[in-house]
Amino acid sequence: MKKIHLFTAIVFLFITINSNAQTTWKLDAAHSNLGFKILHLMVNDITGTVKATESTITATKEDFTDATITLKADMNSIDTDDDKRDAHLKTADFFNTEKFPDLTFQSTSFKKKDQSNYTIVGNLTLHGVTKPVTLNALARSGVNAMNNKPITGFKVTGVIKRTDFDITASTPAAILSDEVSIEANLEFGKQ
């Protein structure tokens, strides 16, 4: 009788471990981008991008309701379609990329709002300052037609304040808006 109980316990443990197996999704950097938009002189949006160099999503549930995401981007890759402006943005006047070369994000919460939409809360580190941010994410999943492997994409949007990260804090909003819109399009492959 003890052998049956032991066997049942082992089977139950195996099923529990497998049902809670963690899935990892890795960033497809070639099909991803991190974009931003800021209002200049109260009349025109200046847009730009930085390159995500690393990002991983881990989850035990297929619907990502227990997911965590980490992301790292290279601030030296900043591109606003103007070489002179990009060089200035890398200086201590703005991002000081020599001292703070990376942007990082670590989620603390990944909550499903409806079938495809999530609220992601996490810690954003930019310009040496870490602040909590709340972002919205639209998820789309499918199969990569090239290799028949599962893929998922997230369109992440939100707004941060440049002054929260001590970026040109003395510059008036009439010159550069304090609010910076974020739009990231991230594609991940299941590992």
Return the CATH fold of 23-190.
Lipocalin (2.40.128)
Q: Do 110 and 66 contact (CB within 8 A), yes or no?
A: yes
Q: Where do the DSSP E strands lie in 61-168?
A: 68-79, 102-112, 117-126, 129-143, 150-161
Vertex 69 angle, CA 129 and 48, to 5°: 60
pLDDT at residue 168, as a whole number = 92
The SS3 call for residue 53 is strand
**What is the average pLDDT score of the chain?**
91
In the chain, domain spans:
23-190
Instruction: Give residue for tokens 């001590």.
Output: 166
Give the pLDDT mean for 128-147: 95
| Three-class SS state of 38 | strand
Distance (Å) of CA 47 to CA 34, 40, 70, 82, 121: 11, 10, 24, 11, 24
Of residues 74 and 18, more confidently modeled: 74
What would the pLDDT profile of 16-25 be if each residue is shown by its tens digit? 444 568 999 9
Q: How confident is the model at residue 10 (pLDDT cuts 50, 70, 90)?
A: low
Alpha-carbon distance 184 to 52, whole Å? 10
pLDDT at 14: 52
Q: What are the structure tokens assigned to 28, written together?
A: 């497809």
Tell me the per-residue pLDDT of 95-137, one tens digit each, with 9 for 90 and over.
999 999 999 999 999 999 999 999 999 999 999 999 999 999 9
Q: Are strands 129-143 and 23-27 parallel, antiparallel or unpaired?
A: unpaired
Q: What is the tens place of the pLDDT at every residue in 22-53?
A: 999 999 999 999 999 999 999 999 999 999 99
